[in-house]
Structure 1
Amino acid sequence: MARKTTSRKKGSAPKRRRFALPAGLRKWLRRGLLAFVVLFAISLIWPRFLPTPYGPYMMAERLRLGGISHDWVAMEKIAPDMARSVVAAEDANFCRHWGFDMSAIRAALANGATRGGSTISQQTVKNVYLWQGRSWPRKVIEAAITPLAEVLWPKRRMLEIYLNIAEFDEGVFGVEAAAQHYYNVRAKDLSAVQSARLAVLLPNPKERDPRNLSKNLRARAAQVLDGAATIQADGRSDCFDS
Structure 2
Amino acid sequence: MAIKRVNRRKRNKIKSLPIKKKILKWTLRIVGGFFAGTIFWVLLLIVMDPPITYLQLQRAFERKAAGKDWKIDKEWLDYKDISDNLKRAAIAGEDAHFMTHNGFDTKAIKEAIEKNKEGKKLRGGSTISQQVAKNVFLWPERSWLRKGLETYFTVLIEIFWSKKRILEVYLNVIEMGQGVYGAEAASRYYFYKSGKSLSKKEAALIIAILPSPQKWDARNPSNYVNRRANNIVRYLNYYSIPE
Range of TM-score over shorter length: 0.7 to 0.9
Question: 1-side partners of 2:32 and 2:191: how far apart?
Answer: 48
Question: 2-side partners of 1:14 and 1:39: how far apart?
Answer: 42
Contact 1:89 1:200 in 2 (8 A): yes
What's the offset of the Cα at 1:34? 5.1
Question: 2-side partners of 1:109 and 1:212: how far apart?
Answer: 32
Matches within 5 A, 1:173-192: 173-192=181-200
Question: 2-side partners of 1:172 and 1:10: how far apart?
Answer: 72
- Counterpart of 1:59 in 2: which secondary structure? helix
What's the offset of the Cα at 1:212? 1.5
Task: List gaps (5 residues or longer) in structure 2.
Answer: 65-69
What's the offset of the Cα at 1:170? 1.2
Larger deviation: 198-207 or 31-40? Answer: 31-40
Question: 1-side partners of 2:225 and 2:5: how far apart?
Answer: 80
What's the offset of the Cα at 1:183? 0.7
Of structures 1 and 2, the larger Rg is shown by: 1
What's the offset of the Cα at 1:35? 4.5
- Per the alignment, residue 132 of structure 1 pairs with 140
Question: 2-side partners of 1:151 and 1:22: how far apart?
Answer: 35
Are 1:106 and 2:110 counterparts?
A: yes
Question: 2-side partners of 1:7 and 1:135: how far apart?
Answer: 53
Contact 1:87 1:94 in 2 (8 A): yes
| Structure 2 residue corresponding to 1:49, chosen from 47, 50, 55 | 47
Contact 2:39 2:156 in 1 (8 A): no
Instruction: Kindly provide the CA deviation profile for residues 66-88 of structure 1, in whole angstroms up to 9, marking residues without a partner as x.
Output: 42101011011110000100110
Question: 1-side partners of 2:24 and 2:111: how far apart?
Answer: 48
Contact 2:176 2:213 in 1 (8 A): yes
What's the offset of the Cα at 1:209? 0.8
Contact 1:165 1:174 in 2 (8 A): yes
What's the offset of the Cα at 1:147? 1.0
Larger deviation: 210-219 or 70-79? Answer: 210-219
- Counterpart of 1:189 in 2: which secondary structure? coil
- Counterpart of 2:176 in 1: which secondary structure? strand
What's the offset of the Cα at 1:23? 9.4
- Counterpart of 2:99 in 1: which secondary structure? helix
Question: 2-side partners of 1:145 and 1:73: how far apart?
Answer: 23
Task: List gaps (5 residues or longer) in structure 1.
Answer: 1-5, 232-236
- Per the alignment, residue 67 of structure 2 pairs with none
- Counterpart of 2:52 in 1: which secondary structure? coil
Are 1:161 and 2:169 counterparts?
A: yes
**What is the TM-score of this pair, normalised by structure 1?**
0.85
| Greater helix fraction, Structure 1 or Structure 2 | 2
Percent of residue pairs bearing the same amino acid type: 33
- Counterpart of 1:188 in 2: which secondary structure? coil
Larger deviation: 32-41 or 70-79? Answer: 32-41
What's the offset of the Cα at 1:115? 4.8
Contact 2:205 2:218 in 1 (8 A): yes
- Per the alignment, residue 7 of structure 1 pairs with 2
- Per the alignment, residue 3 of structure 1 pairs with none
- Counterpart of 1:96 in 2: which secondary structure? coil
Matches within 5 A, 1:1-242: 7-8=2-3, 14-15=9-10, 16-17=12-13, 18=16, 20-21=18-19, 35-64=33-62, 65=64, 66-112=70-116, 115-231=123-239, 237-238=240-241, 240=242, 242=243
Contact 2:123 2:211 in 1 (8 A): no
Question: 2-side partners of 1:181 and 1:69: how far apart?
Answer: 9
Paired residue type of 1:49: V
Contact 2:137 2:153 in 1 (8 A): no
Query: What count of residue pairs does the alignment treat as equivalent?
Result: 230
Contact 1:99 1:122 in 2 (8 A): yes
**What is the TM-score of this pair, normalised by structure 2?**
0.84
- Counterpart of 1:111 in 2: which secondary structure? helix
